[in-house]
Chains A and B, each alone.
Chain A
Amino acid sequence: MIAMLIRRLIQAVLVMLVVAFISFSLFQFVGDPINNMVGQEASQQDRAELRERLGLNDPIPIQFFRFVGNAVKGEFGISYRMARPVSEVIAERLPATLELALISGVLAISLGIGLGVYTALRRDGWLSHFIMSSSLIGVSLPTFLIGILLIYLFSVELQWLPSFGRGETVQITENWSTGLLTVSGWKSLILPAITLGLFQLTLLMRLVRAEMLEVLRTDYIKFARARGIKQRSIHFHHALKNTLLPVITIAGLQLGSIIAFAIITETVFQWPGVGLLFINAIRFVDIPFMSAYLLLIALVFVVINLIVDLLYFAVDPRLRATKRSAGR
């Protein structure tokens, strides 16, 4: 157990190193950071000096080791675009993304499981068919189009909900501001959360349905039925419980992808989170920010993976290494 844990940890560190190298080298040659930093009128000499000062002239391995060393300390340098320490900017914007991800996650998981169970139990009901067909439409529409359509309907035409931003926020600590304590904060959250959660919702719903259908066919459930246990108890006590283990682990992974998918939602709704900053960073070739973001996402995934692995150890002694994969 301990040995396994250590092996997984070492693997996690290796993964982080690989991602660090990718994020470092990926943006090594894209665009010229100097040009974004100096005005139109700077001379060649100014540029050369700045290049030297930022260490952009050093050999690549040295730049990489400096990068990793700093990253471990949480220092990702100064954002070229915002002229502030990247770690500070991320700390400031992460709450917005986490709040959005959390609410969409809750939305996706609760509705996803609920609808999944319903459609599995009422396989041939017209409502189930309707839900399943609309879920397909949801999967077939690109996220950004859903967001734009929601804005068009609820903000422009009906004027019920805000089309952008977080609304009023309340400062809890120096870096942590929340929109969950104000009315306008909640209102601003609705459309982005739906847009972001919809894809995961349909994914989870279909997964729950499939798992549930499979469990319902097992001999164990058939025996339970034969023994005359109540339908309700079979469905929710026996079947759902067995369905939930893989579903919850998948849902954990989905939380990670929600944070990454937030890039699109945040762009559409101008949500001031890290995803929006990432897209801006790409436009401005803000290398320090881009690498920090990729590492952050990688860290989130590695940690979630680790937790999922541990969950498997805890719950399933047979260590089924290959679980059915659930989409992305």
Chain B
Amino acid sequence: MKKTLRAVTLGTAISMIMIASANAQTLRWASAGDSLTFDPHSQNHGQTHAVAHQIYNPLIYLDLDSEMQPGLAVSWEVTDDPSVWEFKLREGVTFHDGTPFTADDVVFSFQRAQHPNSDMRTLISSVKEVRAVDPLTVHIETNGPTPLLPNNLTNLFIMSKVWAEANNVLTPQDYSAGEENFAVRNANGTGPFRLVSRDPDVRTEMVRNDEYWGMGEFPMEISRIVLTPIQSAATRAAAMLSGEIDFLQDVPVQDINRLNNSANITMLSAPENRTIFFGMDQGREELRTSDVKGANPFADIRVREAMNIAINRDAIQQVVMRGQSVPAGMIAPSFVNGWTAELDTVPETNVNRAKELLTEAGYANGFTVTLTCTNDRYVNDEAICQAVTGMLGQAGINVRLDARANSIHFAELQQGELDFFILGWAVPPLDSHYVFDFLLETKTPDTGAWNFTGWSNEEFDSLSRALPTETDLDERNAKIARAWEIVQDEIVYLPVHHQVLNWAVRQDIDFAVQSQNQPMLKYLSFK
């Protein structure tokens, strides 16, 4: 024991010295969750893409301002045939293993991403064929004109065909069946960093790719990245405060002030591409968890309006979110096509009017219902639900709260078992159609996959379904505006707020937040 203690003391002394001489160009990066896999087509998952962007490149990527930028493609445009897009590829790019990048790799990667194992295939379901015209030109043919195709390609990473053949990873990892292939823990991309070691959920190490095509173009000041996922919010904050990490994604909102007050830390913040809202099952005859029998209170728009104005979004923003959210009136943040300030206006809180509306609807004594909520998915999700429970209670609706892990929540939600639920939605293609398609169109096997409200509106459906092939942009935007109008009039959902992203970096680091929550570390520089 004595010996052990001595070893510890000695060790402490030695490492103090080591920290002092630490290499300034190593970036110790921490986040709440880890990448699920390095196979670039296996999972359509935020953090997985965020890590993959350091190693792989898509044809087009979203920069720090969420603007589309040329990645492996230098230009893209629709050819004379409106169903065919032409992509000009970047010249002189090599993969990490030295093989040159050509059009064949693009064709291969699209085919791979269309394999049934791929989680990315929905995003390119409109793609009919990808052809290599010459080594640096690719034609993508779609089923009918698809004006928004480039929007769907920003997370579609390009793999080396030669490498995939050599390592027998021609098809994506079958994640759901628990398959593991060579590409899961090894990677060969064209990106700014190359993978050195990978220990899932514990530690991932990357080093700078000195052959990167953007070497002169971007700062590229980091020589080594060590990524450590830290689940516990308190531990994440503590690790940042104690200087054990240099860059923290997913800063807990309650710790922003403390981190901000630390001289060694700079806080970065920007609106996130994610809106939090509540859904109500309006289609059923009778709710499962309510004391109202023989009728569904949510089917009455007066009840929905009462709930809408009973929720004090500003209070939630100020207290629960500590200012780190943007109160919302619609399910799409400001950078999504179709957003307008008018649609996103937050309804004024008026508890008395809410009570009147409930009385008019025949619920003068209120009613009971269960609100189902996650407690590990969105920023302060359970606290938001608790607050809303109280606010609705003040209007007379007796809400019971059931908060649980998101795995159970989403399972029950998808089985259509919930009366009143929380949900958060991101819009990666930055277009309203993505919201309509998933959340608002009438639920059929092909549409309204996440519409669990039972809401169905013919006019809305016809507007939304016309959008994918509408090539006249003005006409298209007019349709989007009309569709949103219907949604707002009907109060289909109760939007709460748009999340705000908060990153913390060491004070001598120069960086900016990207709304997709995908740090592009090639832009990071040291002061």
A interface with B by C-beta (< 8 Å): 30-32, 34-41, 43-44, 50, 53-54, 77-80, 82-85, 92, 103, 106-107, 110, 148, 151-152, 155-156, 159-166, 183-184, 186-187, 190, 267-270, 272, 277, 280, 283-285
Contacts and interface: CB of A to CB of B under 8 A. Distances in A.
B261 interface: no
Contacts of A39: 43-45, 119, 122
B99 interface: no
Contacts, number: 138
Interface in B387-428: 405, 407-408, 410-411, 414-415
A43 B445 contact: yes
B19 to A, nearest CB: 9
B257 interface: no
A187 B449 contact: no
Contacts of B177: 50, 53-54, 78
A187 B9 CA distance: 9
Contact of B242 (A53, A156, A183, A283): A156
Given A32-B411, A35-B411, A156 B178 contact: no
5 contacts: A83-B179, A166-B202, A184-B18, A186-B11, A187-B12
Given A39-B119, A84-B180, A106-B4, A164 B175 contact: no
Interface of B: 1, 4, 7-8, 11-12, 14-15, 18, 36-37, 43-45, 119, 122, 173, 175-180, 184, 199-203, 228, 230-232, 234-235, 238-239, 241-244, 376, 405, 407-408, 410-411, 414-415, 438, 445, 449-450
A186 B7 contact: yes
A284 B178 contact: no
Contacts of A41: 44, 122, 449
A163 B15 contact: no
B407 A190 contact: no
Given A43-B445, A106-B4, A187-B15, A152 B410 contact: no
Contact of A156 (B8, B232, B241): B241
B230 A183 contact: no
B450 A40 contact: yes
Nearest to A277: B201
Contacts of B230: 164-165, 270
B504 to A, nearest CB: 14
Contact of A151 (B37, B119, B178, B238): B238
A155 B242 contact: yes
A161 B8 CA distance: 11
Nearest to B231: A270
B1 A110 contact: yes
Contacts of B445: 43-44
A13 to B, nearest CB: 29
